[in-house]
A and B are shown apart, each in its own frame.
Chain A
Amino acid sequence: MYIETRDLKKSYGEGGSFVQVLKGVSIKIDKGEMCVIQGTSGSGKSTLLNCIGGLDDIDSGNVSVAGTLVECLKGEKLSDYRRANLGFIFQFYNLVPNLTVRENIQVCEYLTKDPLNMDELIEVLGLTEHQYKFPSQLSGGQQQRCAIARALVKNPKVLLCDEPTGALDSKTSRDILILLEKINRQYGTTMLIVTHNNSIKNMVDHVIYLKDGEIYKDYINEKKVPASELEDL
Chain B
Amino acid sequence: MGWILFKRAVRDLKSGFARYIALALLIVFSLFIVISLMGAADTIIDSTVISDRELNCEDGEFSVFVPLRNEEIKKITERGVSVEQMFYVDYSLNGDQVLRAFKVRENINKISLINGTLPANDSEAVIERRYSEVNGISIGDKVSIGNKDFTVTGIGAAPDYNTVIKKITDTVVDSRYFGLIFVTPEAYDELYSSGCSIASEEYYYAYVLNGAMSESELKAILDDNTFDVEDVDDEYFKEYWDRMTERKDELLEGIDELKEGASDLADGADDLNDGITEFHEGMKDLHDAVPDLTDGVEELDDGAAALETGIKEYTSAVDKIESGASDLSDGASALAAGTSELNTGADLYGTGVNELAGTVEVMSQNEVPYIAEVAGGFLDPAKALATGFAQIQTGIAGVNTGATSMSNGAYQLYQGIKTLNSNSGALKRGAAGLHAGTTALKEGVADLSDGIDKLYDGSIEISDGSDELAKGARELADGVKDFSDEANDLIDEVFNIDLSNLRVFINKADNPRIDSAADDVQINYSASIIFGILLVVLFAYVISVFIVHTIDQESAVIGALYSMGVKRRTLTLSYVAVPVIVTFISGVIGTLIAIFTPAGIPAQMADSLGYFSMPKMDIIVKPFVLIYGLVIPPVTAFIVNVLVVRNRLVRTPLSLLRNEQKAVRGKELKIKGLKFIPMFRLRQIMREIRAGLTVIFGLFMSLLVALLAINTSVYCTNVKNSYIDLTKYEYMYNYKYPTEEVPEGGYEAVAEGFKKEIYGYTFDVTVLGITKENPFFDVGELPDNDSDVVISSAVANKYNLSTGDIFTLSDDKGERLYAFRVVGICDYTASMFVFMDIDRCRDLFNEDDDYFNVVFSDHALDVDGGRLYSTVSKEEIARSSGIYVEMMGPMVTTMSVASAVIFLVVMYLMVKMMIDRSAFNISLVKVFGFRNREVRKMYLDGNFYIVAIGALISIPLCKMIMDYIYPRYLVSNVGVGVTADFPPEVYAAIFAVVIVLYLAINLVLTGRIRKIKPAEVLKNRE
Bound Cα distance from A95 to B4, whole angstroms:
13
Give the complex CA separation of A136 and B554 in angstroms: 14
Q: Given A56-B654, A93-B1022, A98-B11, verify A110-B564 contact (CB < 8 Å).
A: no
Measured in the bound complex, the distance between the Cα atoms of B17 and A90 in whole Å is 32
Question: Are B566 and A96 in touch, CB under 8 angstroms?
Answer: no
Q: How far is the CB of A57 from chain B (nearest CB, A)?
A: 9
- Contact at B563–A88, with CB atoms within 8 Å? yes
A160 to chain B, nearest CB (A): 8
Q: Which residues of A sit under 8 angstroms from B557, Cβ to Cβ?
A: 94-97
Give the complex CA separation of A136 and B1022 in angstroms. 8
Q: In this assembly, does A103 line the interface, its C-beta being within 8 Å of a C-beta of chain B?
A: yes
- Supposing A56-B654, A82-B563 touch, asked if A98 and B556 sit within 8 A by C-beta, the answer is no
Task: Flag if A86 contacts B563 (CB, 8 Å).
Answer: yes
Chain B 222-235: CB-based contact to A (< 8 A → 1; otherwise 0) = 00000000000000
Count residues of B near A (Cβ-Cβ below 8 Å): 28
Q: Which of chain A's residues have a CB closer than 8 A to the CB of B7?
A: 99, 103
- With A94-B657, A95-B557 in contact, do A108 and B15 touch (Cβ < 8 Å)? no
Question: Is B738 in the interface zone, CB < 8 Å from A?
Answer: no
Residue B653 CB within 8 A of the other chain: yes
Contact A97 B554 (CB under 8 A): yes
Given A98-B8, A103-B7, decide whether A82 and B559 contact each other with a Cβ distance below 8 A: no
Is B623 positioned at the interface, with any CB of A under 8 Å from its CB?
no
Chain B interface mostly: helix
Q: Are A55 and B653 in contact, with the CB atoms below 8 A?
A: yes
Decide if B1 is an interface residue (CB 8 Å cutoff). Answer: yes
Q: Is the CB of B564 within 8 A of A106?
A: no
CA distance A129 to B25 in the complex (A): 40
Q: Are A92 and B1022 in contact (CB under 8 A)?
A: yes
A103 touches B564 (CB 8 A): no
Cα of A171 to Cα of B274 in the assembled complex, Å: 148
| Closest Cβ–Cβ distance, residue A165 to chain B (whole Å) | 16
Considering only CB atoms, which chain A residue lies closest to B653 in the complex? A55
Cβ–Cβ contact B563 & A96, under 8 A: no
Q: Contact at A53–B11, with CB atoms within 8 Å? A: no
Asked if A60 CB lies within 8 Å of chain B CBs, one says no
Q: A94-B556, A103-B4, A110-B1 are in contact. Are A83 and B1022 (CB under 8 A)?
A: no
- The answer, yes or no, to whether B458 is at the interface (CB within 8 Å) is no
* Residues A95-147 near B (CB distance < 8 A): 95-99, 103, 106-111, 135-136, 143, 147
Q: Give the distance in Å from the alpha carbon of A175 to the alpha carbon of B475 in the complex.
A: 129
Are the CB atoms of B565 and A83 closer together than 8 Å? yes
CB nearest neighbor in B for A89: B560
Q: A110-B1, A110-B4 are in contact. Are A53 and B563 (CB under 8 A)?
A: yes
Q: CB-CB contacts of B454-473 with A at 8 A, as 1s and 0s?
A: 00000000000000000000
For the side of the interface on A, what is the size category? 35 or more
Residue numbers in B under 8 Å from A99 (CB-CB): 4-5, 7-8, 11
Judged by a CB distance under 8 angstroms, whether B652 is at the interface is: yes
Query: In residues 1-54 of chain B, which contact A (Cβ within 8 Å)?
Result: 1-5, 7-8, 11-12, 15
B1, B11, B556, B652: the one within 8 Å of A55 (CB): B652
- Of residues 843 to 891 in B, which have CB atoms within 8 Å of A's CB atoms? none
**How far is B563's CA from A90's CA once the two chains are assembled, in angstroms?**
11
Residue among B561, B563, B565, B652 with the highest chain A CB neighbour number at 10 A: B565
Complex Cα distance, B561 from A92, in Å, reads 13
Which chain B residue lies CB-closest to A88?
Answer: B563
B1018 to chain A minimum Cβ distance, whole angstroms, is 15
Indicate if the CB atoms of B8 and A96 lie closer than 8 Å: yes
Cα separation A107 to B5 with both chains bound (whole Å): 7
Given the interface pairs A99-B7, A99-B8, A107-B4, the reply to whether A86 lies near B564 with Cβ below 8 Å is: yes
B567 located at the interface, meaning its Cβ lies under 8 Å from any Cβ of chain A in the complex: yes
Which residues of A (61-94) have their CB < 8 Å from a CB of B? Answer: 76, 79-84, 86-88, 90, 92-94
C-beta contact mask, B721-758 vs A, less than 8 Å → 1, else 0? 00000000000000000000000000000000000000
Bound-state Cα–Cα, A156 to B565, Å = 11
| Interface residues in B151-182 (C-beta closer than 8 Å to A) | none
A169 to B94, CA, bound (A): 98
- In Å, the complex CA distance between A80 and B3 comes to 19
Residues of A within 8 A of B3 (CB): 110
Determine the chain A residues whose CB is within 8 A of the CB of B8 once the complex forms.
96, 98-99, 103
Closest residue of chain A to B5 (Cβ to Cβ) is A107
> Once the chains are docked, how many angstroms separate the CA of A82 from the CA of B557?
16
Looking across the interface, which residue of chain B has its beta carbon closest to that of A112? B565
Cβ contacts B528-570/A at 8 Å (1 or 0 each): 0000000000000000000000000010110111111111100
| A151 CB-CB contact with B under 8 Å | yes
Q: Residues of B contacting A9 with CB < 8 Å?
A: none
**Interface presence of A172 (CB below 8 A):** no
B430 → A minimal CB distance (Å)? 152
Residues B15 and A98 in contact, CB atoms below 8 Å apart: yes
Decide if A154 is an interface residue (CB 8 Å cutoff). yes
Q: Which residues of A138-191 are within 8 A (CB) of B?
A: 143, 147, 150-151, 154, 156
- A50 an interface residue at 8 Å Cβ cutoff? yes
Residues in A neighbouring B11, C-beta threshold 8 A = 98-99
From residue B566, how far is it (CB to closest CB) to chain A in Å? 7
A81→B557 CA distance, assembly (Å): 19
B12 to chain A, nearest CB (A): 6
A106 touches B4 (CB 8 A): yes
State the Cβ distance, B515 to closest chain A Cβ, in Å. 56
Residue of A nearest to B654 (CB): A55
Residues on A with C-beta less than 8 A from B568 are 79
Q: Roughly how many angstroms separate A98 CA and B12 CA in the complex, as a whole number?
A: 7
- Of the candidates A88, A110, A111, A154, which one forms a contact with B560 in the assembled complex, judged by CB atoms under 8 Å apart? A88
Chain A, Cβ-Cβ closest to B556: A94
CB pair A111 B4 closer than 8 Å? no
A74 to chain B, nearest CB (A): 12
A107-B556 contact in complex given A55-B652, A99-B11, C-beta closer than 8 Å: no
Cα of A93 to Cα of B3 in the assembled complex, Å? 22
Nearest chain B CB to A114 CB, angstrom units: 15
B193 nearest CB across to chain A (Å): 87
CB-defined contacts of A107 to chain B, threshold 8 Å: 2, 4-5, 561, 566
- A110 and B565 within 8 A (CB): no
A106 CB contacts on chain B under 8 angstroms: 4
Q: Are A111's CB and B566's CB within 8 A?
A: yes
Q: Which residue among B4, B554, B561, B568 has the maximum number of chain A CB atoms within 10 Å of its CB? A: B4
Residues of A within 8 A of B567 (CB): 76, 79
In the complex, what residue of chain B is closest to A86 when comparing beta carbons?
Answer: B564
Closest chain A CB from B222 CB (angstroms): 76
Q: Which residue of chain B lies nearest to A150 when distances are taken between CB atoms in the complex?
A: B564
Residue in B556, B564, B653 whose CB lies within 8 Å of A92? B556
Q: Contact: B4 with A84, CB < 8 Å?
A: no
Residue of B nearest to A103 (CB): B4
CB A79 to nearest CB in B, in angstroms, measures: 6
Contact with B along A26-61 (1 / 0, CB 8 A): 000000000000000000000000100101100000
B4 and A90: CB pair below 8 A? no
Find out whether the CB atom of B556 lies under 8 angstroms from the CB atom of A108.
Answer: no
> Are A55 and B563 touching (Cβ within 8 A)?
yes
Task: Give, as a whole number of angstroms, the nearest-CB distance from B861 to chain A.
Answer: 83
Q: Contact: A83 with B4, CB < 8 Å?
A: no
Residue of A nearest to B1 (CB): A110
Contact A111 B5 (CB under 8 A): no
Interface residues of B (CB under 8 A from A): 1-5, 7-8, 11-12, 15, 554, 556-557, 559-568, 652-654, 657, 1022
Which residues of A are at the interface with B, using a C-beta cutoff of 8 A? 50, 53, 55-56, 76, 79-84, 86-88, 90, 92-99, 103, 106-111, 135-136, 143, 147, 150-151, 154, 156
Q: Would you list 6 pairs from A and B whose C-beta atoms are within 8 A, ordered by A residue?
A: A50-B654, A88-B564, A90-B657, A98-B8, A99-B11, A107-B566
Given contacts A79-B567, A90-B560, A99-B8, 14 further A-B contacts (CB under 8 A): A50-B654, A55-B652, A55-B654, A56-B652, A76-B567, A81-B565, A84-B565, A86-B564, A98-B8, A98-B12, A108-B564, A143-B1022, A150-B564, A156-B564
The 8 residue pairs across chains A and B that have the minimum distance between CB atoms? A83-B565, A94-B560, A98-B11, A82-B565, A106-B4, A55-B654, A88-B563, A94-B557
